């Protein structure tokens, strides 16, 4: 079930929908955790341009959030999330209304197909998803409505803004050359969550929610699941994965933090002009290629300690291929084991030291070990090429960032012009 938790909800490729995006914080709803189960389905939480959001809708979406984000549920966090969830439901209403205005409607079949995709990615079935929700007392319709809004908004954004964004060849080339120059610099494998500061009404609320998120992440909650739920960055679609970057490619404030971080750490909230960032460092490596990441497929041949040297020398002289050596090992009273492709740093130290400089098809000299006398044959070798830089990827990233910015601005305009009444 954990795999399913890490996948829900997952954005479309350009990552423009933030299913539970942070919205303007409103006054806390007058309720207690004990009252959640007894709410009247007809109770009204908000009216958005004459369309109703019920208290039941809010309760269901709060439960869906905790079930799919991995964040621990507490009375304090529940009340905080009610405000956020209500705002996200308001946004969904606005998104669906805007999509309907331009004759975009999402058939039930498309929603079901999206759920099937989630099931496949989570190694589940559609019935398995429904059973998971049922166990959490969440109606399937709550997830279906979330996915419907996501699909409709993504379609609206692609249709409305996709044709307006042009990424020039010169711009791509400049970014490409910059990336090439950075190859020899230290690189960081970074994931990000970007919170929009404009969505908070005061600094205390910023500190409370962002601090709680960081606390949960540092305790082991899946970063990717939280990024998909909260982040307004284009990387939300990839669970916040920014990929391998140099410090120079990051905002100066982020760069200063990431340089001091160790792999596995999650940062405290970092204020920037774009918003409030939380970053996770998965790994770091020195510039250039990393020999320890070269991959080797090694065949080890272990002979008994009293095997005559001439017999081992003859076996080595007859060596042609690993497959042939495996077949002939039994006749030579040798035990043959093959590692499969593994990074050099993952191989036993003695084996790694022996094969590190060898090419595919090579055989080491006999080595005396506690197990006997061993030969190592390199069956295959694939060298680490460092970070592969793609102009197409650079172009896609620029495009996604610009379209995402236009979509956020348009949603902000919709909020400003909407008639929203909170109850």
* Mean pLDDT in residue range 324-345: 91
DSSP 332: T
Q: Based on the fold, state whether residues 60 and 197 are members of the same structural domain.
A: no
Tell me which of 164-173, 213-222, 358-367 is least confident: 213-222
Q: How confident is the model at residue 246 (pLDDT cuts 50, 70, 90)?
A: confident
Tell me which of 98-112, 124-138, 246-260, 286-300 is least confident: 286-300
Contact in structure between 279 and 259 (CB atoms under 8 Å):
no
Q: How confident is the model at residue 42 (pLDDT cuts 50, 70, 90)?
A: low
Q: What is the pLDDT of residues 191-202, one digit of tens each?
A: 999 887 655 556
Percent of the chain scoring above 90 in pLDDT: 42
**pLDDT on residue 235:** 83
In the predicted structure, residue 185 carries a pLDDT above the cut 90: no
Q: Helix crossing, 140-161 with 75-101: angle to 10°?
A: 50
Q: How confident is the model at residue 387 (pLDDT cuts 50, 70, 90)?
A: low
CATH of residue 11's domain is 1.10.4030.10
* Residue 174 lies inside a defined structural domain of this protein: no
Q: Based on the fold, state whether residues 38 and 132 are members of the same structural domain.
A: yes
**pLDDT on residue 121:** 73
Q: Based on the fold, state whether residues 10 and 154 are members of the same structural domain.
A: yes
Higher pLDDT: 273 or 44? It is 44
- SS3 state of residue 132: helix
**pLDDT on residue 238:** 79
- Sheet of strand 420-422, all strands in order from the earlier edge strand to the far edge: 51-54, 44-48, 420-422
Q: Based on the fold, state whether residues 281 and 221 are members of the same structural domain.
A: yes
Q: Which domain holds residue 91?
A: 2-164+415-422
Q: How many domains does the chain have?
A: 3
* Residue 394 lies inside a defined structural domain of this protein: no
* Averaged pLDDT of the chain: 82
Percent of the chain scoring above 70 in pLDDT: 86
- SS3 state of residue 232: coil
In the predicted structure, residue 347 carries a pLDDT above the cut 90: yes
Q: What is the pLDDT of residues 48-84, one digit of tens each?
A: 999 999 999 999 999 988 887 777 788 888 887 888 7
Q: How many Å apart are CA 173 and CA 393, to the nearest integer?
A: 12
Using the 3D structure, point to which of 288, 318, 335 is the last residue of a domain: 288
Q: Based on the fold, state whether residues 81 and 156 are members of the same structural domain.
A: yes
* Residue 242 lies inside a defined structural domain of this protein: yes
* Residue 409 lies inside a defined structural domain of this protein: no
DSSP 361: T
**pLDDT on residue 90:** 93
- Candidate ranges 271-275, 359-363, 382-386; pick with highest mean pLDDT: 359-363
CATH of residue 191's domain is 3.10.50.40
Q: How confident is the model at residue 15 (pLDDT cuts 50, 70, 90)?
A: very low
Q: Based on the fold, state whether residues 154 and 82 are members of the same structural domain.
A: yes
**pLDDT on residue 386:** 63
Q: How confident is the model at residue 288 (pLDDT cuts 50, 70, 90)?
A: low
**pLDDT on residue 356:** 92
CA contacts within 13 A on the Cβ side of 64: 28
Q: Based on the fold, state whether residues 156 and 220 are members of the same structural domain.
A: no
Distance of CA 97 to the CA centre of its chain: 30
Q: Based on the fold, state whether residues 299 and 281 are members of the same structural domain.
A: no
Q: What is the pLDDT of residues 306-327, one digit of tens each?
A: 899 899 999 999 998 999 999 8
Q: Based on the fold, state whether residues 283 and 323 are members of the same structural domain.
A: no
Q: How confident is the model at residue 120 (pLDDT cuts 50, 70, 90)?
A: confident
* Residue 79 lies inside a defined structural domain of this protein: yes
Q: How confident is the model at residue 16 (pLDDT cuts 50, 70, 90)?
A: very low
Q: How many Å apart are CA 3 and CA 122, to the nearest integer?
A: 5
* Mean pLDDT in residue range 363-383: 91
Mind giving me the DSSP string for 265-290?
Answer: -BPPPEE-SS-EEEEEEEEEE-SS--
* Mean pLDDT in residue range 7-14: 38
Q: Based on the fold, state whether residues 343 and 200 are members of the same structural domain.
A: no
**pLDDT on residue 56:** 94
**pLDDT on residue 202:** 62
Q: Based on the fold, state whether residues 151 and 234 are members of the same structural domain.
A: no
Using the 3D structure, point to which of 288, 310, 345 is the last residue of a domain: 288
In the predicted structure, residue 234 carries a pLDDT above the cut 80: no
Q: Based on the fold, state whether residues 281 and 295 are members of the same structural domain.
A: no
* Residue 212 lies inside a defined structural domain of this protein: yes
- CA torsion sign for 229, 230, 236, 241 is negative
* Mean pLDDT in residue range 152-171: 91
Q: How confident is the model at residue 93 (pLDDT cuts 50, 70, 90)?
A: very high
Q: How confident is the model at residue 292 (pLDDT cuts 50, 70, 90)?
A: confident
């Amino acid at each position: 079930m954990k795999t399913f938790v890490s996948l829900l909800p997952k954005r479309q490729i350009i990552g423009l929908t933030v299913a539970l995006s942070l919205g303007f914080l409103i006054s806390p709803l007058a309720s207690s955790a004990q009252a959640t189960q007894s709410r009247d389905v007809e109770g009204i939480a908000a009216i958005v341009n004459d369309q109703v959001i019920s208290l039941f809708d809010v309760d269901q979406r709060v439960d869906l959030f905790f079930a799919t984000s991995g964040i621990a549920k507490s009375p304090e966090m529940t009340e905080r999330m009610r405000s956020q969830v209500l705002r996200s439901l308001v946004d969904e209403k606005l998104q669906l209304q805007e999509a309907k205005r331009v004759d975009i409607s999402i058939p039930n079949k498309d929603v079901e197909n999206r759920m099937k995709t989630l099931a496949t990615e989570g190694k589940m079935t559609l019935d398995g998803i429904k059973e998971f929700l049922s166990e959490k007392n969440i109606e399937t319709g709550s997830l279906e409505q979330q996915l419907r809004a996501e699909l409709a908004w993504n379609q609206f954004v692609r249709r409305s803004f996709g044709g307006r964004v042009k990424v020039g060849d010169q711009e791509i080339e400049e970014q490409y050359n910059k990336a090439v120059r950075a190859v020899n610099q230290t690189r960081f494998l970074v994931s990000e969550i970007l919170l929009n500061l404009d969505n908070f009404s005061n600094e205390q609320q910023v500190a409370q929610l962002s601090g709680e998120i960081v606390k949960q992440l540092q305790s082991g909650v899946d970063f990717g699941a939280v990024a998909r739920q909260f982040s307004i960055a284009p990387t939300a679609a990839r669970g916040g994965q920014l990929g391998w970057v140099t410090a120079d490619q990051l905002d100066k404030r982020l760069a200063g933090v990431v340089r001091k971080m160790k792999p596995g750490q999650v940062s405290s909230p970092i204020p920037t002009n774009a918003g409030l960032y939380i970053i996770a460092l998965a790994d770091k490596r020195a510039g250039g290629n990393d020999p320890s990441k070269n991959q080797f497929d090694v065949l080890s041949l272990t002979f008994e300690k009293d095997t005559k040297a001439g017999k081992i020398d003859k076996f080595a002289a007859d060596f042609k291929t690993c497959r042939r050596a495996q077949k002939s090992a039994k006749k030579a009273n040798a035990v043959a084991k093959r590692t499969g492709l593994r990074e050099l740093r993952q191989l036993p130290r003695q084996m790694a030291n022996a094969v590190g400089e060898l090419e595919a098809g090579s055989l080491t000299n006999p080595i005396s070990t506690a197990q006997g006398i061993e030969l190592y044959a390199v069956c295959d070798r694939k060298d680490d090429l460092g970070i592969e830089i793609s102009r197409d990827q650079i172009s896609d990233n620029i495009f996604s960032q610009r379209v995402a910015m236009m979509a956020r601005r348009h949603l902000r305009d919709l909020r400003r012009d909407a008639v929203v009444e909170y109850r």
